């Protein structure tokens, strides 16, 4: 994976309701980051994050008191500079898409290694998006359901470009950004900009298909 | 007059409730058994014969006596009485233990046999006395009704008889229904707990035991923990019981998930699965899955890595499947004999159904097997 280490140690805030997992993350990140606080439920998290303004918030998708997206909706309107990285053990796509749409800059599963977690934290701290293969799959799946843009909606936001689709597919296949770039003959930076653009579409798209897709998946 | 109508309405209301309750008791099977009392009663031929053999002659005798005494209404009431008696005997014969306990606990207090405290006893006596008075009044009216032309009298009498039974039995019915509701709730809760306990025992506890036994083999511990994690997740989030997807996978996503779990369990490698879209499985797609499994197992055996990526996407007219590892890789043009055989089996498998397989690898670069299968049945 490409490493873009920021100048100083990123300031991290951890929102997670399992004490055991919090301890695990603390141990794995170690001295590479500065841990500025922890919270185990949504309301306290919003308050503390707004007060301490960390670089990156590691956010559990499932939280008592409203879930991860409640934290995002509480913090982002006032402090858009705070970056969020979603963490989850849950495989439910609608929950993951939900926090991404609420403004998280990436999603990784809780089973990642310490090194991968650190990579993701650095990347999010640098303002980049972190697409795990699983998230890439969810996004492809959510955009694949439509034959064409629904009438009355912005086609720019409702569809992925062929290039974006290619990039997501390679990420879903387990390629790193660097490997994706090599495979497509583009730079890792261009890959990153495609991914960010997908993230933007996902967050801005108002098409009802996304909702319908999530509902369909819930029923499956 | 209004009082009578009130009594009739009351009787009908509570009478219907009791009837419904009785029917439910007869027809709804007990927890854990798949037949109800009714079906057991109907199947109990010997019981029916015995009861009929005793009751029918007895009833005929009673009929004779009553008709010779010129009190026809007793004979008229005799039929249903004997029928009811027979049914009650049959139910008792066929009730199983919990039902017998139920009858013991609820029917015996009805007779006042075990009402120990004075207040309860006084209340019971008062109830029975009032009931008997109203009942007697009703019967008197009925008897009278046969000699007069007033059409309302027999009806009023019947209403009084029913009202009498309501006064006597009403509170008991109420407590019965209340008990039944609380009992149902308790039973549902207990059942859920039992199911949960059974599952946790079969999966989690077994795995924990295995992990303790294999505590000196970290790789085995990781493999067990991973397999258990998959299974629990499937149970919690996808509502699937472990082992139920088995051979009868009918959808591609199910089949790929099964493949993932099996390879993880058998080869101690993490299979990172990403699935886009889904479609029904046919023979061609089963062949594709077999080839993918072969490729995944290869990666587990040869790559030297502990993780392999599996990506499947359903497109309009093809299904694409990629198996990728970041392991030591190899030169596809210079592979040893036995491995070429394996690559061959992957290729031959999908080629039989018009699919294709491409192996991309170079030493030190990992390996990727790209599988493609045209779809027969397209999405509408």
pLDDT tens digits, one per residue of B204-233:
777 787 788 777 888 878 888 887 887 787
Of B171 and A1, the one with more pLDDT: B171
B-chain CB neighbours of A89 within 8 Å are: 233
The shortest CB-CB distance from B309 to any of A141, A144, A173 is to A173
DSSP codes joined into one string, B325-355: E-S----GGG--HHHHHHHHHHHHHHHTTT-
B232, B256, B276, best to mutate vs chain A, most A CBs in 10 Å: B276
- Does residue B66 have a pLDDT over 80? no
pLDDT tens digits, one per residue of A174-191:
888 889 999 999 998 899
Contact B309 A134 (CB under 8 A): no
CA B185 – CA B365 distance, rounded (Å): 61
pLDDT tens digits, one per residue of B240-296:
555 443 455 788 888 898 888 888 887 778 888 998 888 888 888 888 988 898 888
Q: Which residue of B has its CA nearest to A183?
A: B360
**pLDDT of res. A13:** 94
| Closest of B82, B94, B83 to residue B39, by C-alpha | B94
A107, A148, A172, best to mutate vs chain B, most B CBs in 10 Å: A172
Does the model's ipTM exceed the 0.85 cut?
Answer: no
Backbone angles phi, psi at A37, to 5 degrees: 175, 165
A136 touching B, CB under 8 A?
Answer: yes
What are the Cα distances from residue A191, in Å, to A80, A158, A168?
24, 20, 9
* Distant-in-sequence, close-in-space partners of B157: CB < 8 Å, separation ≥ 6: B137, B138, B139, B140, B141, B142, B144, B145
Three-state secondary-structure class, residue B219? helix
A-chain CB neighbours of B275 within 8 Å are: 137, 141
**pLDDT of res. B366:** 87
| Helix A133-144 × helix A162-172 angle, to 10° | 140
- Does residue A117 have a pLDDT over 80? yes
A115 touching B, CB under 8 A?
Answer: no
Query: Contact, B307 vs B317, CB < 8 A?
Result: no
Rounded to an integer, the average pLDDT of B76-103 is 64
Instruction: Return mean pLDDT, chain B.
Output: 73
- Does residue A168 have a pLDDT over 50? yes
**pLDDT of res. B72:** 55
Contact A137 B276 (CB under 8 A): yes
* Distant-in-sequence, close-in-space partners of A189: CB < 8 Å, separation ≥ 6: none
- Does residue A77 have a pLDDT over 70? yes
B237 touching A, CB under 8 A?
Answer: yes
B365 touching A, CB under 8 A?
Answer: no
B266 touching A, CB under 8 A?
Answer: no
- Does residue B41 have a pLDDT over 50? yes
What are the Cα distances from residue B78, in Å, to B66, B70, B81, B136, B248?
9, 14, 5, 18, 60
* Distant-in-sequence, close-in-space partners of A150: CB < 8 Å, separation ≥ 6: A158, A207, A208, A209
- Does residue B94 have a pLDDT over 80? no
Give the pLDDT band of residue A159 (cuts 50, 70, 90). confident
CA A110 – CA A68 distance, rounded (Å): 14
What are the Cα distances from residue B115, in Å, to A24, B111, B121, B165, B170?
63, 9, 6, 19, 17
Q: What is the pTM of this model?
A: 0.56
The shortest CB-CB distance from B309 to any of A92, A144, A174 is to A174
**pLDDT of res. A90:** 63
Element (H, E) at A37: strand A34-39
Q: Which of these ranges, A66-70, B85-89, B275-279, B300-304, has the smallest mean pLDDT?
A: B85-89
């Amino acid at each position: 994976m490409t490493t873009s280490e920021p100048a100083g140690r990123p300031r991290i805030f951890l929102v997670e309701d399992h004490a055991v997992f919090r301890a695990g993350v603390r141990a794995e990140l170690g001295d590479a980051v500065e841990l500025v606080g922890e919270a185990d439920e949504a309301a306290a998290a919003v308050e503390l994050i707004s007060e301490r303004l960390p670089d990156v918030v590691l956010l559990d998708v499932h939280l008592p008191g409203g879930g991860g997206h409640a934290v995002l909706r509480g913090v982002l309107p006032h402090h858009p500079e705070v970056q969020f990285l979603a963490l989850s053990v849950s495989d439910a796509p609608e929950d993951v898409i939900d926090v991404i749409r609420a403004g998280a800059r990436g999603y990784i599963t809780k089973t990642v290694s310490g090194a991968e977690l650190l990579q993701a934290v650095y990347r999010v701290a640098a303002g980049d998006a972190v697409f795990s293969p699983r998230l890439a799959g969810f996004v492809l799946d959510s955009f694949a359901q439509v034959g064409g843009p629904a009438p009355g909606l912005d086609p720019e936001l409702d569809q992925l470009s062929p290039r974006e689709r290619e990039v997501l597919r390679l990420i879903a296949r387990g390629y790193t950004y660097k490997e994706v770039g090599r495979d497509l003959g583009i730079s890792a930076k261009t890959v990153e900009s495609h991914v960010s653009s997908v993230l933007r579409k996902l967050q801005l798209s108002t098409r009802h298909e996304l909702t319908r897709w999530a509902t369909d998946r819930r029923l499956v | 007059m209004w009082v009578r109508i009130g009594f009739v309405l009351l009787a009908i209301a509570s009478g219907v409730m009791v009837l419904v309750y009785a029917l439910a008791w007869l027809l709804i099977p007990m927890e854990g058994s798949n037949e109800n009392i009714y079906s057991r009663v109907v199947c109990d031929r010997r019981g029916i014969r015995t009861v009929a053999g005793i009751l029918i002659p007895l009833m005929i005798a009673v009929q004779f006596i009553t008709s010779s005494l010129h009190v026809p209404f007793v004979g008229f009431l005799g039929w249903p009485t004997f029928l009811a008696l027979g049914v009650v005997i049959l139910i008792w014969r066929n009730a199983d233990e919990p039902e017998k306990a139920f009858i013991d606990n609820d029917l015996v207090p009805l007779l006042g046999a075990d009402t120990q405290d004075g207040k309860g006893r006084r209340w019971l006596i008062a109830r029975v006395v009032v009931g008997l008075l109203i009942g007697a009044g009703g019967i008197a009216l009925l008897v009278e009704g046969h000699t007069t032309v007033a059409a309302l009298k027999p009806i009023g009498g019947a209403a009084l008889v029913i009202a009498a039974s309501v006064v006597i039995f009403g509170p008991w019915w109420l407590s019965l229904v209340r008990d039944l509701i609380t009992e149902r709730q308790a039973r549902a809760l207990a059942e859920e707990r039992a199911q949960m306990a059974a599952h946790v025992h079969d999966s989690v506890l077994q795995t924990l035991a295995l992990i303790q036994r294999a505590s000196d083999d970290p790789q085995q511990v990781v493999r067990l923990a991973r397999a258990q994690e998959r299974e629990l997740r499937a149970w919690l989030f996808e509502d699937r019981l472990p082992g139920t997807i088995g051979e009868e996978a009918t959808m591609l996503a199910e089949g790929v998930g099964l493949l993932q779990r099996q390879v993880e369990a058998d080869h101690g490698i993490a299979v990172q699965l990403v699935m886009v879209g889904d479609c029904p499985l046919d023979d061609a797609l089963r062949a594709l899955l077999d080839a993918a499994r072969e490729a995944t197992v290869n990666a587990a055996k040869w790559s030297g890595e502990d993780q392999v990526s599996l990506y499947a996407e359903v497109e309009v007219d093809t299904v694409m499947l990629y198996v990728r590892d970041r392991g030591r890789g190899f030169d596809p043009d210079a592979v040893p004999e036995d491995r070429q055989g394996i690559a061959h089996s992957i290729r031959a498998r999908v080629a039989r159904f018009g699919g294709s397989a491409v192996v991309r690898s170079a030493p030190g670069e990992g390996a990727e097997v790209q599988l493609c299968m045209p779809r027969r049945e397209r999405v509408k």
